[in-house]
């Protein structure tokens, strides 16, 4: 990746979200080795138009037809191809002009295009944790068959990945995933009953989109990360631990069978794990802010409060049961978070909605992307029908 002929050509899915915006900035900082081929979004027409004009990708994909028409007209004078629909989102993941697909899509919407990318032998960088939460067995099996890696972009999984480099022959005893604790660390379950969406969206350390921020506040984000880590690193669920680390400096740790622990540290900034995934195995120079230990005289760790934040336990339960249950849990969580943001339910109702969906779900073992997506739709529809 040290000359133009070796540029890594990127398809960025979900370019208009928080992670997508940061990914564009990272790609733009390394024009000698990274080339933006595709940007894609669901319906944010105005933002997608601005991104296309600024970053000049070769292809733009818009899923929603109404937004597509706006984008197509606005880019008529640009040397940029514009495509529409979910199938186009999948098709660009198989194009010869794409070397790597970076998925920053939020939620289960990333499932089909990422499987299509893997199925076509493309390197995948994954910021969309739901892809492995919902269909981890299917995704990792196909990736192994295609002999390609899935590179993590989440800061916690990137930290584990970085800590494992050079340790191929050394057995892992435990993965330790850190959590900031969110805005309500130390709150009782009773106090959480009066939480508002405005409070929950004020994360103390990270700048993220609304869905991920609410998941962080409920600790469901850590539950999703535990399941994702299980599939990414082939480590048993009982060997993955979550600890609360309020400073968000130690991004995660790996304990080996000799008792040694390796960790990756840095400021709470997603640009570093994005860059590492896009340029692996190289570490490229950048101008990101550096960690100064004098600014963090104390790094503290504590156990999560599972009584006040039961979503973490629910995620472990869903993963242990396996089959369709992580898919059901994820769909129910997305519905519950949306209801909370709309002020239809309270913060402590989120785990109640998820448990309701899991208790009522038929136990099945999906075998394809279509079957997982059907379960996702059925779960959402059941919740909407029963909670009118």
Residue among 75, 122, 115, 125 nearest 98 (CA)? 122
pLDDT in tens, 278-311: 999 999 999 999 999 999 999 999 999 999 999 9
CA–CA separation, 227 and 214 (whole Å): 18
Q: What is the reported pLDDT for 207?
A: 65
- Predicted pLDDT at 295: 96
Average pLDDT of the residues of the chain: 94
Residue 348 DSSP label: T
Question: Would you place residue 204 in the very low, low, confident or very high pLDDT band (cuts 50, 70, 90)?
Answer: confident
Q: 3-state SS string over 134-173?
A: HHHHHHHHHHHHHCCCEEECCHHHHHHHHHHCCCCCCCEE
Q: For residue 1, is pLDDT > 70?
A: no
Give yes or no for residue 2 having a pLDDT over 50: no
Domain 322-388 part of CATH 3.30.450.20: no
Start-end of CATH 3.40.50.720 domains in the chain: 4-153
Residue closest to 375 by CA, chosen among 384, 364, 386, 385: 364
**What's the pTM?**
0.94
Q: Give 33: exposed, middle or buried? Use CB within 10 Å, 0-12, 13-18, 19+.
A: middle
Please check the confidence at residue 3 and state whether its pLDDT lies above 50.
no
- Asked if residue 4 has pLDDT above 70, the reply is no
pLDDT value at 264 more than 50 = yes
pLDDT at residue 14 tops 80:
yes
Band of pLDDT at residue 106, cut at 50, 70 and 90: confident
Q: Mean pLDDT, to the nearest integer, of 350-374? A: 96
Distance of CA 14 to the CA centre of its chain: 11
Give ∠ CA 380-385-386 in degrees, rounded to 5. Answer: 100
pLDDT given at position 107:
83
Averaged pLDDT for residues 25-30: 96
The mean pLDDT of 124-132, rounded to a whole number, is 93
Q: What's the pLDDT score for residue 203?
A: 79
Fold type of domain 4-153: Rossmann fold (3.40.50)
The values of phi and psi at residue 131, to 5°, are -60, -45
Taking the C-alpha atoms of residue 218 and residue 215, their distance in angstroms, rounded to an integer, is 5
pLDDT at 48 over 60: yes
* Residues carrying CATH 1.10.1740.10, the chain: 322-388
Query: Which pLDDT score, from 0 to 100, does residue 205 have?
Result: 73
DSSP type of residue 17: S
**DSSP 3-state of 205:** coil
214 and 337 Cβ atoms separated by less than 8 Å: yes
């Amino acid at each position: 990746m040290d000359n133009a002929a070796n540029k890594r050509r990127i398809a960025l899915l979900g370019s208009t979200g928080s992670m997508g915006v940061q990914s564009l900035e990272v790609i733009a900082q390394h024009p000698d080795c990274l080339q933006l081929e595709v940007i894609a979004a669901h319906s944010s027409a105005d933002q997608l138009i601005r991104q296309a004009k600024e970053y000049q990708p070769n292809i733009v994909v818009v899923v929603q037809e109404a937004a597509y028409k706006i984008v197509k007209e606005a880019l008529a004078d640009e040397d940029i191809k514009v495509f529409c629909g979910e199938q186009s989102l999948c098709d660009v993941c198989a194009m010869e002009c794409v070397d790597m697909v970076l998925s920053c899509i939020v939620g289960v919407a990333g499932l089909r295009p990422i499987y299509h990318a893997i199925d076509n032998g493309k390197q995948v960088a994954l910021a969309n944790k739901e892809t492995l939460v919902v269909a981890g067995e299917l995704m990792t099996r196909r990736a192994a068959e295609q002999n390609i890696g899935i590179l993590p972009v989440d800061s916690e999984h990137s930290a584990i990945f970085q800590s494992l480099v050079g340790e191929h022959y050394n057995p892992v005893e435990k993965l330790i995933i850190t959590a900031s604790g969110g805005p309500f660390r130390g709150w009782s379950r009773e106090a959480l009953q009066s939480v508002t969406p405005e409070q929950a969206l004020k994360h103390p350390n990270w700048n993220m989109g609304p869905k991920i921020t609410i998941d962080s506040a409920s600790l469901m984000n850590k539950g999703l990360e535990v399941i994702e880590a299980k599939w990414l690193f082939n480590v048993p669920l009982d060997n993955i631990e979550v600890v609360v680390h309020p400073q968000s400096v130690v991004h995660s740790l790996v304990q080996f069978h000799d008792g040694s622990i390796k960790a990756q540290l840095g400021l709470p900034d997603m640009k570093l794990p994005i860059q590492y995934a896009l340029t692996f195995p190289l570490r490229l120079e950048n101008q990101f802010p550096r960690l100064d230990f004098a600014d963090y005289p104390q790094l503290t760790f504590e156990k999560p409060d599972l009584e006040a934040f039961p979503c973490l336990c629910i995620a472990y339960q869903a993963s242990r049961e396996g089959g369709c249950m992580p898919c059901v849990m994820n769909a129910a969580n997305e519905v519950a978070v949306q209801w909370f943001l709309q002020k239809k339910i309270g913060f402590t109702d989120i785990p109640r909605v998820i448990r309701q969906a899991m208790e009522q779900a038929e136990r099945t073992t999906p075998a394809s992307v279509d079957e997982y997506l059907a379960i996702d739709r059925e779960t959402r529809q059941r919740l909407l029908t029963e909670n009118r």
